[in-house]
Structure 1
Amino acid sequence: MIDLRPFDSLGAANHGWLDTKYHFSFSGYHDPARMGWGALRVWNDDAIAARSGFPPHPHSDMEIITYVRSGAITHKDSLGNQGRTEAGDVQVMSAGTGITHAEYNVEDVETTLFQLWIIPDRDKTGRPPQWGAKPFPKGERAGRWVTLASGRAGDEDALPINADARVLGATIAAGETLRYDLGGRKGYLVPATGRLEVNGIAVDTRDGAAIDDVDELAIKALEDSEIVLVDTAG
């Protein structure tokens, strides 16, 4: 089963400095049919105006992954961490027992990003909070999957999270097909750019594809495409 979530059907809010789309219920947007997908609770598609951002605010027991699509985001938190994550890079904050952070676009141009929240495994809640970031050059993802963040065995090169889930990225040239063994787990796929066919279903730029009870994905690029996929336990 693949449930297409067209971009125009997503929840939305525009605060001036922040123009955002919600794949799942969040903030003032509530849809009982879109409360999450497996352990994936939030997928926000954010455009943050230059010289603006999110002031300090707290989180606990949530794995927060930021995938920067253009521009850059600057992170500061109550542990003393500070870092700038630019387009092509990923940051992960495991909120654990509690952390306060701020995310600002200090650049002179708009920053666009995906922010994903994944619920930690029950036996991994209440851990010390942590933050990390890592570059993932798009050239190294050409025609293949790169695991960006993961709590699964064998993904030691990825940023760690406290969940039985995996966040992957890939770029596919028009006409090429990339496969992924989902093994019946839940998947949620979004093309950051380009257009795809996922097991024969057309998925346009920034649409969501919620996938369940499928063993293998066959992802054909109709245009040069940059994609993000979350593989999560049900």
Structure 2
Amino acid sequence: MIELRPFDSIGSADHGWLDAHHHFSFAGYHDPSRVNWGALRVWNDDKIAPKSGFPTHPHQDMEIITYVRSGAITHRDSMGNEGRTEAGDVQVMSAGRGVAHSEFNLEDEECTLFQIWIIPDQRGGEPGWGARKFPKGDRAGQFVTLASGAANDDASSDEGALPIRTDARVLGATIKAGESVTYTPAQADRHLYLVPATGSIRVGNIEAKARDGLAITKEDSITVTALEDSELVLVDAA
């Protein structure tokens, strides 16, 4: 099953400094058919104006993955962490029993990002934060795991990805027009959610444009063909 969720059909809110689009029910946007996709709870497509951002606010019991598409975002939290994540790179915050953080665009240019929330396997625990550079060249023509619940397992192919505390993976790929890339989940009943950050793609007989969502399940594998040069982000969740 592959369901196309066009960008113009998802929730949105323009706060001036923040132009937000919500693939799933969030804040003032509620669609009972789009509350979650398996353990995937939030996929926000945010555009943050220069010199603005999210002031300090709390989170609890959520794995929060930020994929920066353009510009950069600066993170500060109550654990004492501070870091600047640039376009193409990823940060992860495991909220655990509770953490407060801020996310600001301190740059002179707009920042665009995907913020993805995945429900953890267990509640509580110590909060944590980490960030990593993932050069786009390393993702050319293949999916590379950016964050994974198996990242700390030396026997896992996800070694080197940022760790998250949930049975899920966040992956990225870049593909040239006319090229294809295939992804095979461990089981067909996994919940896959695929968004082309740029470009346009075809999966089966369904075409998706930049920032559209594809909700996929009960597929043994998916083959993504680029109709234009494309940058892909994929979540594979229980």
Question: TM over 0.5, yes or no?
Answer: yes
Q: Deviations over 1:24-78 (max 9, x none)?
A: 0000000000001010000000000000000000001100000000000000000
TM-score (structure 2 length as normaliser): 0.96
Q: Percent identity?
A: 68
Instruction: Give the distance between the partners of 2:79 and 2:32, measured in 1 at CA.
Output: 35
Pair 1:204-2:203 in alignment: no
> Which blocks of at least 5 consecutive residues in structure 1 are unaligned?
none
- Aligned residue in 2 for 1:143: 141
Q: Return the TM-score normalized by structure 1.
A: 0.97
Q: Secondary structure in 1 aligned to 2:138?
A: helix
Aligned residues: 231
Root-mean-square deviation over aligned CA pairs: 0.7
Separation in 1, partners of 2:92, 2:227: 31
Tell me the secondary structure at the aligned position of residue 37 of structure 1. coil
- 1:81 partner amino acid: N
Q: Which moved more, 1:145-154 or 1:131-140?
A: 145-154
1:165-184 deviations in Å (ceiling 9; x for gaps): 00000000100110010231
Amino acid at match of 2:12: A
Q: Quote the Cα distance in structure 2 between the aligned partners of 1:188 and 1:46.
A: 17
- Paired with 1:206 and 1:88, the residues of 2 have a C-alpha distance of 15
Q: Structure 2 CA distance, aligned partners of 1:15 and 1:105?
A: 15
Partners of 1:57 and 1:177 in 2: CA distance: 41
Counterparts of 1:41-56 in structure 2, within 5 Å, are 41-56=41-56
What is the distance in 2 between the residues matched to 1:218 and 1:200?
A: 11
Identify the residue that residue 175 of structure 1 maps to in structure 2: 178
SS in 2 for 1:8: helix
Name the residue aligned to 1:87: 87
The one-letter code matched in structure 1 to 2:13 is A
Q: 1:212 Cα shift?
A: 1.0
SS at match of 2:137: helix
Task: Tell me the CA shift for residue 125 of structure 1.
Answer: 2.0
- DSSP-derived class of the 1:128 partner: coil
Deviation at residue 200 of structure 1 after TM alignment: 2.2
**Matched position secondary structure for 1:97:** coil
Deviation sequence 1:148-197 (CA, Å, 0-9, x none): 00003512210000000000000001001100102311100000000000
- Distance in 1, matches of 2:203 and 2:69, equals 22
Alignment partner, residue 189 of structure 1: 194
The residue aligned with 1:166 is: 169
Structure 2 residue runs without a partner (length 5+): none
Question: In structure 2, how many angstroms separate the alpha carbons of the residues matched to 1:208 and 1:200?
Answer: 15
Matches within 5 A, 1:35-74: 35-74=35-74
